[in-house]
């Protein structure tokens, strides 16, 4: 028996099935509709500014152009943007300061020669450092740098910010303060560094260091940091005997100072020179400890080097240390100081035939006053002696010996 399905039973059951359209038809409709929106509707909506966000077109080399093709060609890079446009000004206080003072920071090249015979001579690069143009007069310019930058140089060459080179004349150098003064032709010099007041610096104050770390390939490098400490005393051993020959008073900063930065500028946020970068602690376990010579300490040295070629200092003739650096056992065993004495200068040795020797000062004496002014550290002694006194001046020294306070007058000589 054959059964014919006329669809009646299916209609009665409510499950009549229609024939579904082909999927290809949906694809064609979607393509046509998308093309219409993309080419006709969207540009019209952009033109009428009906969109809730900004819509930009990239140049014709990338996607497509609208009707305003000439305007679009002027836009090198435009993006879809639903955020309000923001104007960014990259000029900051630091960039402005650096632009102003950078031409006053120069490179200093130490050139050394060695003669083998009448015909042969070898020329060596003794190292490269930095310098600061601090004064210009007539057609001459004057530069301060570090003593160790130009030490043993046969010739000194200064490299200006524009890359031009000038042969420099060494006006004077001082081992103790690690400063040297150079003179060059100032015809190409247009910027001179303005000097600040290092006495006004405060711990935490932001500073900028400018110099040539690791040579001229990185000339004009700028680093930023803060003042980490003021009036730091760093022992200096010039003779190599393991004993301190000098206590350098310096500014401590965490601005990066590397070989080649020596002699460069440490400036404050007013663009004023407050220090001459000089040294850093180079140990694997140490980071961010650099030092600069305070400009207030450098100015009298610079002036004397420029005018006389050398530093003439008053000479006392003692090897001395800050009392606070002396072990307490030494205080109790040999010094016998009153309880009220908490600071001073401990004399370890007296140089024979020196002013101190002639005045009767002895080892284990503790100096507490100079000309009636209290002194607490070796820095106080050197500041009073080297800034307030001249050779042949007299100085009244108050000290303790064996627990008793005494006083002598010393006639200073030349160091």
How confident is the model over 111-139, as pLDDT tens digits? 888 766 666 666 666 678 899 999 999 89
Domain range spanning residue 44?
23-74
For the record, the structure tokens of 67 come out as: 């009707």
- What does pLDDT average to over the chain? 79
Residue 255 lies in a domain: yes
**207 and 299: one domain?**
yes
The total of structural domains in the chain comes to: 4
Single out the catalytic residue among 130, 198, 219, 262: 262
148 an active-site residue?
Answer: yes
Active-site option among 130, 174, 178, 380 = 178
In a domain, 88, yes or no: no
322 flagged as catalytic:
no
Q: Which of 308, 334, 368 is the last residue of a domain?
A: 308
pLDDT confidence of residue 304: 92
Instruction: Identify the bridge partners of residue 292 per DSSP, sorted by sequence position.
Output: 251, 277
**181 and 208 belong to one structural domain:** no
Amino acid 118: pLDDT: 61
Say whether both 147 and 228 belong to one domain.
Answer: no
pLDDT of 333 higher than 80: no
Is pLDDT above 70 for 210? yes
Percentage above 90 pLDDT, the chain: 40
Distance between CA atoms of 191 and 105, rounded to whole angstroms? 9
Choose, from 130, 147, 148, 198, the residue flagged as catalytic.
Answer: 148
**Percent of the chain clearing pLDDT 70 (strictly above):** 73
Q: Catalytic: 262?
A: yes
Evaluate whether residue 12 is within a structural domain.
no
d(CA 122, CA 136): 34
Residue 361 main-chain phi, psi, to 5 deg: -70, 145
Q: How far apart are CA 338 and CA 263, in angstroms?
A: 45
Q: Are residues 171 and 228 in the same domain?
A: no
Q: Does the predicted model carry a pTM greater than 0.85?
A: no
Q: Are residues 301 and 327 in the same domain?
A: no
The per-residue pLDDT for range 301-327, each reduced to its tens digit, is 999 999 999 888 888 999 888 888 888
Same domain, 322 and 299: no
DSSP3 helix / strand / coil % (the chain, rounded to 5): 25, 35, 40
Stronger pLDDT, 7 or 31, i.e. the higher one: 31
Q: Please identify which residue in the block is written with the tokens 């056992």.
A: 329
């Amino acid at each position: 028996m054959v059964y014919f399905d006329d669809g009646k039973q299916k209609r009665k059951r409510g499950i009549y099935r229609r024939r579904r359209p082909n999927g290809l038809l949906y694809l064609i409709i979607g393509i046509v509709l998308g093309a219409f929106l993309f080419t006709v509707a969207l540009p019209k909506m952009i033109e009428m500014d009906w969109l809730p966000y900004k819509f930009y077109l990239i140049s014709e080399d990338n996607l497509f152009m609208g009707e305003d093709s000439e305007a679009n060609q002027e836009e090198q890079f435009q993006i879809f943007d639903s955020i309000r446009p923001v104007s960014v000004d990259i000029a900051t206080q630091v960039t402005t300061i650096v632009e102003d003072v950078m031409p006053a920071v120069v490179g200093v090249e130490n050139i050394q020669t060695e003669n083998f015979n009448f015909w042969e001579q070898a020329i060596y690069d003794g190292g490269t450092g930095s310098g600061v143009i601090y004064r210009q007069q007539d057609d001459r310019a004057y530069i301060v740098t570090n003593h160790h930058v130009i030490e043993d140089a046969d010739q000194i060459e200064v490299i200006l910010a524009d890359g031009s080179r000038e042969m420099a004349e060494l006006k004077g150098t001082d081992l103790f303060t690690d400063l040297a003064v150079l003179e060059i032709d100032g015809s190409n010099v247009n910027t001179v560094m303005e000097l600040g007041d290092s006495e006004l610096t405060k711990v935490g104050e932001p500073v900028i260091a400018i110099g040539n770390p690791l040579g001229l390939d990185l000339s004009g490098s700028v680093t930023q940091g803060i003042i980490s400490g003021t009036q730091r005393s760093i022992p200096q051993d010039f003779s190599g005997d393991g004993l301190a020959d000098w206590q350098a008073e310096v500014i401590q900063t965490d601005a990066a100072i590397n070989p080649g930065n020596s002699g460069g500028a440490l400036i404050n946020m007013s663009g004023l020179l407050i220090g001459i970068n000089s040294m850093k602690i180079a140990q694997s376990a140490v980071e961010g400890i650099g030092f600069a010579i305070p400009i207030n300490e450098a100015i009298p040295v610079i002036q004397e080097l420029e005018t006389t070629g050398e530093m003439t200092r008053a000479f006392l003739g003692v090897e001395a240390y800050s009392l606070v650096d002396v072990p307490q056992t030494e205080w109790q065993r040999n010094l016998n100081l009153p309880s009220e004495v908490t600071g001073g200068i401990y004399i370890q040795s007296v140089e024979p035939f020196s002013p101190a020797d002639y005045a009767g000062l002895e080892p284990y004496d503790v100096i507490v006053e100079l000309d009636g002014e209290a002194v607490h550290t070796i820095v106080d002694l050197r500041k009073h002696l080297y800034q307030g006194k001249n050779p042949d001046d007299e100085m009244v020294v108050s000290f303790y010996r064996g627990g008793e306070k005494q006083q002598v007058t010393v006639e200073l000589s030349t160091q």
